[in-house]
Amino acid sequence: MTMNKNFKATAVKIFIAFTALTVLTANTSIVNAATKTIVCYKGTVAKKVTAASPKCPTGYSTKKPVVKVTPKPAATTATKPAAAGATAFNGTYKGKISMLWSASDVQATSVTGAGTGTILGLDTLSGSGSSAPSSQCDSINGSGTLSGGGNTLKVTFDTSSKACGAEGAAPTVVSITGTAVINGGTGKYAGATGTLKVTGSFAVNSTEAGTKESTALTLTLVGNISTK
């Protein structure tokens, strides 16, 4: 009788231990299963699903979609027009200046010359001018054309240009200094711009009113010509 009681007690203990172990194992499996997470995709949308046996919602898949990258068109750079070219000019023109004196001024009725140097084919000078000298050094007005090879270049003295006599009265040598402004032309110099430094000289034998004379003239022009 005592043996039966002990056997029963032992069997109960074994059953309780087995049951507890089973519950513990089940709980552990549930906990471990609850931590399983999958990622489901639908187009560009991604959704995480956590469950004991996680499954993607309808329309979702665990396969990550491949994103197609559309290449951007290459940027285009506008081609800027080339800047107008500047060409160096350095020429000396030798020729004649014809003058007509009056009581108040002097007119350069004709200026001519033939050029040498870096003259870009513009080997002929022609022009005219005037001045109203009241002192040994006074401003001059003048314009001219350089021509050659079917092209012309027009120039005009600016307000800084002047003529100065070596002596206070004739006969004397007159020196010219100043700037010639380029204001267009024809042929390949149509629309040309730039400035040329001017130096030169000529002789004056008489300044009496009514006197006409023609003397040797030398003009040197140095600068840059910009063409379109």
Domain ranges across the chain: 2-50, 85-227
Residue 7: the pLDDT is 44
* CA-based end-to-end distance of the chain: 130
SS3 content of the chain, % helix, strand, coil (to 5): 15, 50, 35
The letter for the amino acid at 220 is T
The per-residue pLDDT for 18 is: 45
Give residue 50's pLDDT.
Answer: 83
User: What does the DSSP assignment read for 157-198?
Assistant: E-TT-EEEESSSSSSEEEEEEEEEEEEEEEGGGTT-EEEEEE
Contact (Cβ atoms closer than 8 angstroms) between residue 194 and residue 183 = no
Per residue of the chain (228 residues), what is the pLDDT tens digit? 444 545 445 544 554 444 444 444 444 444 444 568 888 878 778 788 888 888 888 888 887 766 555 555 555 434 343 345 789 999 999 999 999 999 999 999 999 999 999 999 999 999 999 999 888 999 999 999 999 999 999 999 999 999 999 998 899 999 999 999 999 999 999 999 999 999 999 999 999 999 999 999 999 999 999 997
- Nearest residue to 109 via CA among 128, 96, 125, 94: 128
Cis peptide leading into residue 81 (ω within 30°): no
Tokens 């299963």 appear where? Answer: 33
- Residue 24 pLDDT: 42
Contact residues for 170 (Cβ-Cβ < 8 A; gap 6+):
204, 205, 206, 207
pLDDT attached to residue 84? 52
Angstrom distance (rounded) from CA 90 to CA 124: 14
Residue 64, pLDDT score: 72
- 141/132 Cα distance (integer angstroms): 9
Residue 20: what are its φ and ψ, rounded to 5°?
-60, -40
